[in-house]
Amino acid sequence: MELAFVIEKFVLVTIVFVISLVVAMYSTLAERKVAGFMQDRFGPDRAGPFGILQPLCDGGKFFFKEEIIPAGAHKPLFILGPTIAIITACIGSAVIPWGQSLTIGDRIIELQVTDINVGVLYIFGVVALGVYGIMLGGWASNNKFSLMGAVRAASQSISYELAMGLSLIALLMVTQSLSLREIVAQQSGFVNWNIWVQPLGFLIFLVCAFAECNRVPFDLPECETELIGGYNVEYSSMKLGLYMFSEYINMFVSSALMSALYFGGYNFPFMYDLGLSQNWITIIGVIVFFVKIFAFIFFFMWIRWTLPRFRYDQLMNLGWKMLIPLAIANIVLTGVITIIKDTFF
């Protein structure tokens, strides 16, 4: 392995990491701004112009708060919980293609950390691992409310992973590939976006993404009206901060994933008809990709301040009796259409 390659990947990883953190930081501000907008008030506007320094103040405050580990808590696992949550949130972005390739001198730099040929499944595995953070934290707190939150988180994430996986299978039947780079590359232009061939699959995936990120209306693990604060009741200081942070990073990664899988990723209409050089197409592509991601993050927030929370039995019914059968029907439908297309056209 040559040195330049290592440096290139290291820089890329650092940039992706920093961007994830910054986006997550400003999502907390954006969340409150959107809430303010929806409820006809200002939202935070004291720290800096338009409250732009608010996330920094919050971060600083998290660090300076007293750190409390309850006497009855299981100390190693109590610390391990938020650690796993933030690590799994951060490593998901490794396989997302942020753009095409940049040519600097005679080096071609792919704007993707790594392109493994099971990229979609990798993200799935990381998501599956994420629930350990919540479960361990909730159990180690030695608090009945946190345990309830942890158990809810586990059953919710397992239930919705199934429907999510099934909706992805239909997509993979269309794309014929598990590599995210290839899936995005297939969707060049505008008419090739997967959303046009998999609208139902996208809808199921979207609902499941909400559930996997523990966002309203699926935030039963931290349902404060029933469980005080759910799995993170006993957490204080930056440990609580890490849990919240990992939620926002998860939101960022799943927005990126949805844009990449269904909305063409870095592709934009007429991208090859403008007569631009490859580097410019790549740069505009990255910007377009981030616009799509921010649109999804806004959508996440919009839903949060619009819909009330589900009841737990409603959540389970929706997952098992609505989404899974719908996803299976979608697979069958996709198969039939593919065969008809192959035979007659």
How large is the greatest C-alpha to C-alpha distance in the chain, in angstroms?
A: 70
Q: Which is nearer to other proteins, 101 or 177 (CB)?
A: 177
**Tokens representing 160?**
């919705």
Q: Which is nearer to other proteins, 75 or 107 (CB)?
A: 75
- Does 125 interact with other proteins (rule: CB under 8 A)? yes
**Tokens representing 137?**
């934290």
Q: How far apart are CA 113 and CA 12, in angstroms?
A: 6
Instruction: Tell which one of 21, 129, 203, 286 touches other proteins (CB under 8 A).
Output: 129
The count of other CB atoms within 10 Å of the CB of residue 147 is 19
- Does 132 interact with other proteins (rule: CB under 8 A)? yes
- Does 121 interact with other proteins (rule: CB under 8 A)? yes
- Does 155 interact with other proteins (rule: CB under 8 A)? yes
Q: How far apart are CA 24 and CA 250, in angstroms?
A: 9
Span interacting with other proteins, options 62-70, 89-97, 100-108, 143-151, rule CB under 8 A: 143-151
Q: How far apart are CA 161 and CA 149, in angstroms?
A: 18
- Does 339 interact with other proteins (rule: CB under 8 A)? no
**Cβ atoms of 98 and 12 closer than 8 Å:** no
**Cβ atoms of 111 and 173 closer than 8 Å:** no
Span interacting with other proteins, options 4-12, 56-64, 103-111, 115-123, rule CB under 8 A: 115-123
Rg (CA), the chain: 21
- Does 139 interact with other proteins (rule: CB under 8 A)? yes
- Does 222 interact with other proteins (rule: CB under 8 A)? no
Beta bridge partners of 101: 110
- Does 312 interact with other proteins (rule: CB under 8 A)? no
Residues that bind other proteins (CB under 8 A): 77, 116-118, 121-122, 124-125, 127-129, 131-132, 135-136, 139, 147, 150-151, 154-155, 157-158, 161, 178
